[in-house]
Amino acid sequence: MRTIDLLKSKGVSPSQQRIQILEYLLKNKIHPSVDTIFQNLVNQIPTLSKTTVYNTLALLREKQLIQVIIDNNEIRYDADTEFHGHFKCLECGAIYDFPISEIKIDISSIENFQISEKHIYYTGICALCIKKKGDENGNKT
């Protein structure tokens, strides 16, 4: 489905800014921050305002076209709304996806609760950064 139709299907009128922001998220699965999105689109839309990025992301989230990743310092965004886990590398800042097939919880403590969002968020150091560190230590020239 084209981005325009995706927006229309949720009753959102497809302005240039909205199309571009959603398209950026659909094409760049890097869980970008508001600032990353802004920096990458301001070339194509020179008049773009950061407020528009914030407003649009809030709207897209409301319409469940994107999800938000709770992060320590800044919020990051994801056009993949299927349930999956996220791993944030504390070294390079990258956020990786990982699939989750099942969670066993004793729901007795949150029985009758109405759940709207589920976040699985790991932190640590990614394989690339571990390797990089190893190389640095190995190369005692």
Separation of alpha carbons 39 and 84, rounded Å: 27
Assigned token pair, 47: 């008049």
Out of 92, 100, 107, 120, name the contact with Zn ion by CB under 5 A: 92
For residue 127, state whether it binds a second copy (rule: CB under 8 A).
Answer: yes
End-to-end distance of the chain based on CA atoms, in angstroms?
Answer: 54
How many Cβ atoms from other residues are within 10 Å of residue 20's Cβ?
19
Please, are residues 137 and 130 in contact by the beta-carbon 8 Å criterion?
no
Q: Which of 30, 54, 61, 132 binds DNA (CB under 7 A)?
A: 54
Pick one of DNA, Zn ion, a second copy, none as the site partner of residue 74 (Cβ within 5 to 8 A by kind): DNA
Q: Provide, rounded to whole angstroms, the least separation between the CB of residue 45 and a second copy.
A: 28
Q: What are phi and psi of 53, to 5 degrees?
A: -60, -45
Does the footprint of Zn ion cover residue 110 (CB under 5 A)? no
Q: Which residue has the tokens 């004793």?
A: 106
DSSP state of 73: S
Closer to a second copy at the Cβ: 28 or 130?
130
> What is the nearest approach in angstroms of Mn ion to the Cβ of residue 96?
8
Q: Per rule CB under 8 A, is residue 111 in the interface with a second copy?
A: yes
Angle at 63 between CA 20 and CA 60, to 5 degrees: 30
Contacts with DNA by CB under 7 A lie at: 12-13, 15-18, 33-35, 45, 47-52, 54-56, 58, 73-75
Contacts with a second copy by CB under 8 A lie at: 70-72, 75, 85, 87, 89-90, 96-107, 109-127, 130
